[in-house]
């Protein structure tokens, strides 16, 4: 096998970078493999054990240990090759751009870089390079808010933003909405414990333990959240929540921001609100629920609590949501910085 190399002291920063290379989905596989080989070396694995673990020969293990020993992280990169650089014609470059920007005729939405490489006869790395040079990112999607068809869009928008920036005195502004169909998903096998150099691991098979519906109100100028679990998202439960809000905020004007869901405009709800002089309801424009700040909080809650979580029952999920809201109000609640008014209108 040749010379065996002695591992020099590796800094924590270098080891962390190797772990990042192994776990990243953006790093090329060959760099991730080489990084894992060095991590095996750091952990004390033998040449034979590391080769078996990574599916390579001991000669490969020796090569990358040598390169790392001599040049550190830089040694894991491909060495420059001799000879004349490969040139790609303008015709091929234009073809790559066209294929990336056009839809395939086989039913798929877009082509991968590997597909484009096969069609054009160049490497995937060259395809990636050409796309970068043309500032094209066909693998990414960005969503934007379409224009609302509501003829009163500007009036409603200005009204709501005005409540955010300059609320009436002796009044509270509440953003209210429901987050429905939150699934209480349990995994079919236990979660595997995290180990050094590995990410959290969950089986991709799961079982459903029902769904939870949450109704919540965000106090815009304090950040406090009031929320309840509801079995069904209907007018009856919405009215119960309004009555809860009525009891909680006494002797103060209540301005409620709602979207246009039929539940929010139910006849029974409107009749009750008409008798409550302290309530003022403000509906977001059509297709513009993004104006309602509770949606921002729902996004935070989803990231903090729901993403990749395991729930053995609906009750467990509800209890965790209520505990999170309690802790959020105690330690994290604060007003969101509203920036819509600082954007230029086209």
How many angstroms separate the CA atoms of 99 and 112, rounded?
Answer: 10
Euclidean distance between CA atoms 58 and 76, whole angstroms: 16
| Alpha-carbon gap, residue 100 to 114, rounded angstroms | 11
The three-state DSSP-derived secondary structure of 75-116 is HHCCCCCCCCCCCCCHHHHHHHHHHHHCCCCCCCCCCCHHHH
CB under 8 Å, gap of 24 or more: what pairs does 58-63 form?
Answer: 58/1, 59/1, 59/2, 61/37, 62/1, 62/2, 62/3, 62/4, 62/5
Domain ranges across the chain: 12-76, 90-133, 153-342
Distances (CA, A) of 282 to 206, 218, 219, 246, 256: 41, 14, 14, 16, 6
CATH architecture under which domain 153-342 falls: 2-Layer Sandwich (3.30)
Q: Which residues contact 139 (CB under 8 A, 6 or more apart)?
A: 110, 112, 113
Q: What per-residue confidence (pLDDT) applies to 58? A: 87
Cα gap 229→235, rounded to integer Å: 14
CA distance linking residue 124 with residue 118, whole number of Å: 8
In DSSP terms, 206 is beta-bridged to 187
| pLDDT at residue number 88 | 83
- Consecutive 10-residue averages of pLDDT for the chain (346 residues): 70 85 81 90 88 89 88 79 69 88 83 87 87 83 70 89 90 96 78 64 72 96 96 95 96 95 94 94 90 94 87 91 96 83 42
Q: What is the pLDDT of residue 343?
A: 43
Strands (E), the chain: 171-187, 206-219, 225-230, 253-258, 279-283
pLDDT recorded at residue 147: 74
The position carrying tokens 């815009």 is: 220
User: Is residue 217 helix, strand or coil?
Assistant: strand
What integer pLDDT is reported at residue 200 of this predicted model? 60
Place of tokens 């609302």: 148
Say what the pTM is: 0.59
């Amino acid at each position: 096998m040749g010379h065996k190399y002695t591992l020099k002291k590796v800094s924590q920063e270098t080891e962390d970078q190797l772990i990042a290379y192994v776990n990243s989905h953006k790093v090329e596989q060959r760099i991730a493999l080489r990084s894992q080989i060095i991590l095996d070396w750091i952990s004390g694995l033998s040449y034979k054990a590391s080769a078996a673990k990574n599916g390579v020969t001991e000669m490969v293990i020796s090569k990358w240990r040598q390169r790392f020993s001599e040049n550190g992280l830089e040694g894991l990169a491909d060495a420059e090759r001799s000879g004349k650089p490969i040139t790609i014609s303008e015709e091929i470059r234009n073809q790559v751009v066209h294929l990336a920007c056009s839809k395939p005729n086989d039913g798929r939405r877009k082509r991968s870089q590997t597909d484009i490489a096969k069609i054009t006869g160049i490497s995937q790395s060259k395809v990636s390079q050409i796309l970068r040079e043309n500032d094209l990112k066909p693998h990414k999607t960005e969503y934007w808010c379409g224009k609302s068809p509501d003829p009163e869009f500007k009036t409603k928008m200005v009204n709501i933003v005005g409540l955010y920036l300059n609320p009436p005195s002796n009044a509270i502004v509440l953003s209210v909405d429901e987050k429905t169909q939150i699934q209480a998903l349990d995994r079919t096998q236990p979660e595997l414990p995290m180990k050094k150099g590995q990410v959290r691991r969950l089986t991709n098979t799961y079982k459903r333990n029902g769904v939870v519906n949450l109704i919540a109100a965000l106090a815009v100028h304090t950040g406090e959240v009031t929320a309840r679990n509801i079995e069904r998202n209907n007018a009856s439960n919405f009215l119960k929540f309004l009555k809860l809000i009525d009891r909680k905020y006494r002797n103060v004007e209540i301005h409620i921001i709602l979207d246009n869901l039929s539940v929010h405009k139910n006849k029974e709800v409107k009749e009750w609100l008409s008798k409550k002089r302290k309530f003022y309801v403000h509906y977001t424009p059509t297709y513009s629920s993004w104006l309602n700040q509770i949606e921002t909080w729902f996004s935070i809650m989803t990231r903090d609590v729901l993403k990749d979580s395991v729930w053995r029952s609906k009750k467990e999920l509800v209890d965790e949501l209520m505990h999170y809201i309690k802790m959020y109000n105690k330690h994290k609640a604060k007003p969101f910085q509203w920036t819509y008014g600082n954007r230029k209108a086209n």
